[in-house]
Structure 1
Amino acid sequence: MSYKQIKWLILIIPTLTIGLWEYVRHQFLLPYISMELGNWLAPVIVFTVTVIFLTQLFSLLEDMQEELKEARAEKAALEEREKMARELHDGIAQSLFLLAVQVDVLDKRNTGAEAEIRTFRQTVHEVNGYVRQAIANLRDPVSPDTLPWMELMKSLSMDLAAETGIRADWSWKLPEEKLSAKEKVELYASLREALLNVRKHAYAEHVRISSEECGSGWICAVSDDGKGFDGDNLRLTDKFGLKIMRERAVEMGWTFELVREHGISVFRIRKRRER
């Protein structure tokens, strides 16, 4: 049923109800029902029909409006991603390419610092690769409809194990239907960033990805046995990736935690019960 049809039904049903009642009353019920009783019954019948039919139509209308709202939010997010990708490509990526060319020119001059130049060139190429991968991810974001949700999530741990040799355990108890399309995308991005941090900074041998339901909410966590961090909490403002993760969690209404528990670093996202 289309949005336009629902609106017309909401307008027509009460009118048809009162019209049909008045016709039946005057044609068939006048000998049995007084005029005063008929006048009292008219609003009761209209109210009853409204409760039975119009509430369902209003529910359909609200669902359609919510879907439209989500579609607009996803479109805005895609437009923002494209804008960021364009800025990365036109700014940082082009600058890194120019820097790589300058390093090659410097290397050909035989300055006597071949080892340092080689290390510098490798770093530039790695950073360039990260930037171009980020551009690709922004322009072609992961869609929960392109792969089965569980397969998509499991690939995070499988890729980590294959690329680094880190042993990755998977314990996922969160049903797919508990998440909206936007939540799936944002949760995937958050867990991917968490595993990237483990790969780059933790020097871990074992990582565990887990999730479980918590009432009407849920908890997802990434824990590792790496070197951890100093103090009770990591200074999030000093780590751009973690800052983005925290901002994403706040935007989604989730709780973001990064703690050290019994020698284990734990990144945790929690969605609390809706009130």
Structure 2
Amino acid sequence: MSYKWLKWLILWIPTIVIGVWEYVRHAFLLPYISMDLGNLLAPVFVFSVTLTLLRSLFKKLEGMQNSLKQQEVMKAAFEEREQLARELHDGISQSLFMLSVKLNKLDKAATPDDAARTMEEIRNTVRHVHEDVRQSIGNLQTPPAAPDTNWLQSLHNVIGEMGLASGIRTEVDWQLQDGMLTAKEKIELLAIIRESLMNIRKHAEADAVTIKAEAVTDRGDGKHCFHCSIEDNGVGVDEQKLEKKGKYGVKMMLERAHSMGWALQITSKESGGTVVNICGGGKKR
């Protein structure tokens, strides 16, 4: 029995019972039961019959609620695993692979100078892996941005998490009002920005990043629209390689955008660097 039917039965059974009781009382029981006694017995009789009929329905409803709670627990566990997978994406695995390559190179070093240079590269790679692991642990321990957190405050927190403030010049031009997007949309957009900044820090070799966001013309369907871009001046990106297996960070960005009904595009600039564009509609007015 569906939840919809349960609701209708719970609504109608008391009504039907009181109707049947009043009909039987007036048609057959008036010679035996006075009006005062009938009025007194009516709520007792209706309550007893209704409780008897609804017990199984309430039991089924409780079972459905318990099942829903179990599904919510499983969903929460799955989301935690998805979050862990996002944090342990291709950056760490690539760094470990490069570490193994450099160790092999160290074994084959022909001169002490070659060995010293390779050891320095290994130290840098280990340092990079260490930073990635610390960042992943930090992201897992950090709760998502609260719905009432100011946009600029949230953005600067993300920039600080990525370690960009000290090494990469970051410019923020944020024209979206706090109430422009829902809490969930805000969390998802900040997560995409965080992943974009992580990729810039790891792969772009950039020294400047610009984050822009603005409201755009209403599409006429009762929704405000927004456009957000994350632009760097690094080495650019090979767009054909973005869909390859192992690009888990990019995949999760695309999945986040798709789940919100947004369009996300990653392109290289002719002048050098990469632009991540996110376009979507905010909550209805």
- Taking structure 2 as the reference length, what is the TM-score of the superposition? 0.55
Query: How far has the Cα of 1:192 moved from its partner?
Result: 0.8
Tell me if the contact between 1:254 and 1:269 (Cα under 8 Å) persists in the aligned partners. Answer: yes
Query: How far has the Cα of 1:78 moved from its partner?
Result: 0.8
Change (3 A) 1:234 1:82: closer
1:162 and 2:169 correspond = no
Query: How far has the Cα of 1:203 moved from its partner?
Result: 2.2
Query: How far has the Cα of 1:228 moved from its partner?
Result: 6.0
The match for 1:246 among 245, 250, 254 is 254
Tell me if the contact between 2:237 and 2:274 (Cα under 8 Å) persists in the aligned partners. Answer: no
Change (3 A) 1:206 1:270: closer
Give the superposed CA RMSD.
5.5
Once the two structures are superposed, the pairs formed by residues 48-127 of structure 1 within 5 Å of their partners are 72-82=74-84, 111-113=112-114, 115-127=116-128
Aligned identity (percent) is 15
Q: Aligned partners of 1:84 and 1:270: how far apart in 2?
A: 22
- What amino acid maps onto 1:255 in structure 2? A
Q: Tell me the alpha carbon deviations over residues 157-184 of structure 1, each in whole angstroms, 9 at most, x when there is no partner.
A: 4566522241321415154583354x44
How many residue pairs were aligned? 234
Which residue of 1 is the match for residue 49 of structure 2?
none
- What amino acid maps onto 1:249 in structure 2? A
Which residue of 2 is the match for residue 193 of structure 1?
195
Tell me if the contact between 2:211 and 2:230 (Cα under 8 Å) persists in the aligned partners. Answer: yes
Which residue of 2 is the match for residue 270 of structure 1?
279
The match for 1:18 among 4, 16, 19 is 16
Q: SS of 1:148's equivalent?
A: coil
Tell me if the contact between 1:161 and 1:167 (Cα under 8 Å) persists in the aligned partners. Answer: yes
Which residue of 1 is the match for residue 44 of structure 2?
none
Query: How far has the Cα of 1:225 moved from its partner?
Result: 5.4
The match for 1:207 among 210, 214, 235 is 210
- What amino acid maps onto 1:267 in structure 2? V
Give the unaligned 5+ runs of structure 2.
27-66
Q: SS of 2:213's equivalent?
A: strand
Q: Who wins on radius of gyration, i.e. which is larger?
A: 2
- Taking structure 1 as the reference length, what is the TM-score of the superposition? 0.56
Q: Tell me the alpha carbon deviations over residues 111-154 of structure 1, each in whole angstroms, 9 at most, x when there is no partner.
A: 33364134313322233224413541564364334993633333
Q: Aligned partners of 2:155 and 2:253: how far apart in 1?
A: 17
The match for 1:236 among 238, 242, 261 is 242
Give the unaligned 5+ runs of structure 1.
29-64
Change (3 A) 1:259 1:184: same
Q: Aligned partners of 2:69 and 2:215: how far apart in 1?
A: 26
Higher mean displacement: 243-252 or 259-268: 259-268
Tell me if the contact between 1:153 and 1:188 (Cα under 8 Å) persists in the aligned partners. Answer: yes
Tell me if the contact between 1:84 and 1:138 (Cα under 8 Å) persists in the aligned partners. Answer: no
- What amino acid maps onto 2:11 in structure 1? I
Tell me if the contact between 1:219 and 1:270 (Cα under 8 Å) persists in the aligned partners. Answer: yes
